[in-house]
């Protein structure tokens, strides 16, 4: 399966961000990709107003999502990203959406809110309370995660034990001391923990690092971006995945059960 990961700098005007997403979808289709991962909270962002992403949140049936659905009717590309979706007055849910064939085929409300490094995402954002579903893309089972979820290995492992072979991660990973190192280390660790492919998209604006990656089940980086807008590609192979899992059967060799997760 050919896959793509796109990154760009999300701006204040949602229509411009929507056009960027549509353009990346078109490029991925033209290159023969079947799965595209885009960053976290792509609706809108303002470096001078940290609340703008939530203030500009839309409902599920509003224009941003409808444009993505309309575009997806033209092909069989599966596109994954996250948006702030309205909940109650002044609040939103950080919602991952998988779009294909003119509709949202899966959604996931971010479980682990980013209350760390002097940021409090939960101040305006409502956390989810259940694991996301798996989706199937070109014969691969795909597990869904969002940004800060990456720091919680039990989530990635839970998805792998449910049958995930690929983990996808839209993100907006904040800059800071050693944060690029955290990002690359955790991506490799989650691939090794689960023997899954990992596809991670990072927003690359002034406050976030970019550095999107596609990582193989042995933690080897197959494709990577820097801090600039980019669209990267890789080929995921079922045979290689099977070979890795036969050689490194960590999912079978486990001696300890996870706590029950909803």
Residues marked as catalytic: 40, 110, 147
Contact partners, residue 141, CB within 8 Å, separation at least 6:
134, 135, 163, 164, 165, 166
Question: Residue 138 in contact with residue 1, Cβ under 8 Å?
Answer: yes
How far apart (Å, rounded) are the C-alpha atoms in residues 1 and 105? 19
Helix (H, G, I), strand (E, B) or coil at 51: coil
Cβ atoms 135, 144 nearer than 8 A:
yes
Q: For the chain, what's the residue count?
A: 262
The DSSP bridge pattern shows strands 140-144 and 166-171 to be parallel
Measured between alpha carbons, how far is residue 70 from residues 45, 67, 73, 262 in Å? 23, 5, 6, 33
Task: Using the structure block, give the residue that is written with the tokens 């509003």.
Answer: 62
Residues 195, 213: Cα–Cα separation, whole Å? 16
Q: What does DSSP assign to residue 259?
A: P
């Amino acid at each position: 399966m050919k896959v793509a990961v796109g990154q760009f700098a999300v701006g204040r005007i949602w229509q411009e961000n929507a056009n960027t997403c549509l353009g990346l979808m078109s490029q991925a289709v033209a290159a023969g990709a079947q799965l595209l991962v885009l960053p976290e909270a792509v609706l809108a962002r303002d470096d001078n107003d940290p609340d703008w992403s939530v203030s500009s949140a839309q409902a599920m049936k509003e224009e941003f999502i409808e444009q993505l659905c309309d575009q997806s009717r033209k092909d069989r590309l599966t596109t994954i990203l996250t948006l702030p979706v309205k909940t109650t007055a002044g609040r939103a849910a950080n919602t991952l959406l998988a779009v294909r064939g003119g509709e949202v085929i899966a959604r996931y409300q971010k479980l682990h809110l980013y209350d760390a490094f002097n940021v409090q995402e939960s101040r305006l954002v409502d956390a989810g309370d259940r694991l996301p579903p798996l989706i199937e893309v070109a014969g691969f089972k795909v597990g869904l995660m969002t940004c800060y979820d990456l720091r919680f290995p039990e989530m990635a492992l839970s998805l792998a034990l449910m049958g995930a072979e690929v983990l996808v991660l839209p993100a907006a990973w904040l800059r800071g001391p050693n944060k690029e190192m955290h990002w690359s280390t955790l991506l490799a660790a989650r691939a090794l923990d689960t023997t899954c492919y990992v596809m991670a998209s990072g927003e690359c604006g002034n406050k976030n690092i970019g550095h999107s990656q596609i990582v193989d089940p042995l933690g080897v980086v197959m494709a990577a971006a820097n801090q600039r807008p980019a669209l990267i590609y890789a080929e995921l192979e079922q045979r290689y995945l099977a070979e890795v899992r036969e050689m490194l059967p960590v999912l079978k060799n486990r001696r300890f059960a996870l706590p029950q997760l909803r």
